[in-house]
């Protein structure tokens, strides 16, 4: 893709990643971290400069903006473009130092001082991008391409439309959400305020991927209260909650762990444990594309917890399970036209399509369940939620190209039926 079409795309992206917008699972604030509002305020002013004069921050920190339809195309269904501003809490995200490196065969030295390498053997997919300029970090933080690459693709598209008023299109609705990484991106999302009849999240992975189904997801919390006695006098008396938590985790089937599964295979994943002898809590993610298998995993966790409580009756063990989001596929199947449009956008942008399930979730999944069909488009990044996160520049440009193709196609859509 030519950088001439989106001349400020890379600089925009590099500016966005400097905002510290890591979301916080433990926070009750909306958004969960105040710095997300700083980026929201910046984006509002940027969108206004592109002619989206109604850009504003709504409840909870969601950014909304719209661009009127070209004259004569006001009756076309309004299209929505969505990305999220926050970055994952699963890796360091403060003082991000992006760098552009042209990839050649072999390992990439990210940090000479700390001798941090991006190892080709560990991340073999990088071989597909030999000869391309790729944006990395210095190996000490994540990059934030998830999902500031999506934000950049959308704003670059808006900038293009400002410079090319001859492009005809339906009404365009733009939204940038906070807290997607902690499953709260759409808690305050106002669909009527947004104004779109159908939409696309730009929050996917490698170039060409198109995602129309995702995990059913739930989060479980197990709390174990033990019995504390001085360790020197504890024989037959102490009940160590840490050891009980370890026993529970050890009972999880290894073939249902994220590190042993792929594709449509779901998992049970303990991703946080903290505690003392007296009390330990374990947070567990439950995921599966298949609804029946998803429910079976919940049942398995309930059975394992109950068995542990029976084996150690002196402990107080509790379990809560809260659903996070559903698979969007059954909801997207109700409006197949939305998928036809995005597939055509890939073709017009010259991007081969690779449709695959998301091993996670998106704001689009939650919005699809709420009645706004919203498939997920690639942004081009690799190794999200990791200090080895990176994004090839041509892939980022391709995401912006798909956004522009969707906008142009919107003028041809007369109905979603």
Whether residue 59 lies inside any domain: the answer is: yes
Q: 105 and 206: one domain?
A: yes
Q: 61 and 204: one domain?
A: yes
pLDDT of residue 393: 98
CATH number (domain holding residue 107): 3.40.630.10
Q: 181 and 143: one domain?
A: yes
* Domain that includes residue 331, residue range: 9-213+327-410
Rama region for 237: left / alpha / beta (φ>0; ψ in -120 to 50; rest): alpha
Q: 137 and 79: one domain?
A: yes
Whether residue 271 lies inside any domain: the answer is: yes
End position of a domain, from candidates 305, 325, 345:
325
pLDDT of residue 141: 98
Q: How many domains does the chain have?
A: 2
pLDDT of residue 3: 58
| Closest C-alpha among 218, 258, 272 to residue 25 | 272
Q: 62 and 208: one domain?
A: yes
CATH number (domain holding residue 310): 3.30.70.360
Whether residue 3 lies inside any domain: the answer is: no
End position of a domain, from candidates 325, 352, 370:
325
Residues with a known catalytic role: 86, 180
Q: 57 and 180: one domain?
A: yes
Q: 121 and 69: one domain?
A: yes
Whether residue 115 lies inside any domain: the answer is: yes
Q: 54 and 88: one domain?
A: yes
Residue-level pLDDT, tens digit, the chain, 417 residues: 445 799 999 999 999 999 999 999 999 999 999 999 999 999 999 999 999 999 999 999 999 999 999 999 999 999 999 999 999 999 999 999 999 999 999 899 999 999 999 999 999 999 999 999 999 999 999 999 999 999 999 999 999 999 999 999 999 999 999 999 998 999 999 999 999 999 999 999 999 999 999 999 999 999 999 999 999 999 999 999 999 999 999 999 999 999 999 999 999 999 999 999 999 999 999 999 999 999 999 999 999 999 999 999 999 999 999 998 999 999 999 999 999 999 999 999 999 999 989 898 889 999 999 999 999 999 999 999 999 999 999 999 999 999 999 999 999 999 998
Distant-in-sequence contacts of 256-260, Cβ < 8 A, 24+ apart? 256/297, 258/287
Q: 355 and 207: one domain?
A: yes
Whether residue 285 lies inside any domain: the answer is: yes
Q: Phi and psi of 274, rounded to 5°?
A: -150, 145
What is the CA 52 to chain-centroid distance, rounded? Answer: 25
Whether residue 2 lies inside any domain: the answer is: no
Q: 81 and 162: one domain?
A: yes
CA distance between the termini of the chain = 33
Whether residue 416 lies inside any domain: the answer is: no
385 annotated as belonging to a binding site for a ligand: yes
Q: 42 and 178: one domain?
A: yes
Whether residue 1 lies inside any domain: the answer is: no
Q: Are strands 279-288 and 216-225 parallel, antiparallel or unpaired?
A: antiparallel
| Closest C-alpha among 271, 283, 288, 284 to residue 217 | 288
End position of a domain, from candidates 325, 360, 381:
325
289 annotated as belonging to a binding site for a ligand: no
CA distance 166 to 169: 10
CA distance 286 to 268: 5
- pTM for the whole thing? 0.89
203 annotated as belonging to a binding site for a ligand: yes
Task: Please state, as a whole number, how many other Cβ atoms lie within 10 Å of the Cβ of residue 192.
Answer: 5
Q: 315 and 373: one domain?
A: no
Q: DSSP assignment, residue 36? A: H
């Amino acid at each position: 893709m030519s950088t001439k079409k989106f001349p400020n795309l890379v600089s925009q992206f590099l500016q966005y990643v400097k905002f510290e917008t890591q979301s916080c699972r433990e926070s009750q604030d909306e958004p969960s971290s105040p710095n997300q509002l700083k980026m929201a305020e910046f984006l509002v002013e940027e969108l206004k400069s592109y002619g989206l004069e109604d850009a504003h921050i709504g409840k909870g920190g969601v950014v909304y903006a719209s661009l009127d339809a070209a004259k004569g195309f006001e009756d076309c269904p309004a299209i929505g473009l969505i990305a999220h501003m926050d970055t994952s809490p699963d890796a360091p995200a403060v003082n991000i130092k992006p760098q552009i490196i042209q990839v050649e065969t072999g390992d990439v030295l990210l940090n000479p001082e700390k001798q941090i390498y991006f190892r080709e053997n560990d991340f073999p997919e990088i071989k597909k991008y030999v000869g391309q300029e790729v944006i990395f970090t210095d190996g000490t933080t994540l990059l934030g391409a998830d999902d500031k690459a999506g934000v950049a693709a959308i704003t670059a598209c808006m900038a293009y439309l400002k410079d090319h008023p001859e492009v005809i299109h339906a009404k365009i609705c733009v939204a940038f959400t906070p807290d997607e990484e902690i499953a709260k991106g759409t808690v305050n999302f106002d669909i009527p305020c947004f104004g779109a009849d159908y939409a696309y999240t730009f929050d996917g992975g490698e170039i060409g991927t198109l995602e129309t189904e995702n995990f059913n997801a739930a989060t479980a919390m197990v709390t174990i209260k033990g019995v504390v006695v001085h360790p020197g006098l504890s024989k037959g008396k102490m009940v160590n909650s840490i050891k009980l938590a370890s026993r529970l985790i050890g009972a999880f089937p290894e073939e249902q762990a994220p590190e042993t599964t792929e594709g449509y295979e779901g998992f049970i994943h303990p991703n946080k444990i903290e505690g003392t002898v007296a009390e330990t809590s374990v947070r567990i993610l439950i995921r599966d594309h298949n609804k029946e298998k998803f429910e079976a995993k919940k049942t398995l966790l309930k059975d394992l917890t109950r068995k542990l409580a029976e084996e150690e009756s002196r402990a107080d063990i509790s379990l809560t399970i809260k659903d996070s989001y559903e698979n969007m596929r059954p909801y997207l199947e109700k409006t197949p036209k939305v998928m036809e449009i995005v597939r055509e956008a890939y073709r017009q942008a010259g991007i081969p399509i690779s449709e695959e399930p998301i091993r996670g979730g998106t704001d689009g999944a939650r919005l699809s369940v709420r009645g706004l069909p919203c498939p997920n488009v690639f942004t081009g990044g690799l190794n999200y939620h990791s200090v080895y996160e990176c994004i090839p520049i041509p892939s980022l440009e391709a995401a912006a190209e798909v956004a522009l193709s969707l906008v142009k196609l919107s003028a041809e859509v007369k109905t979603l039926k």
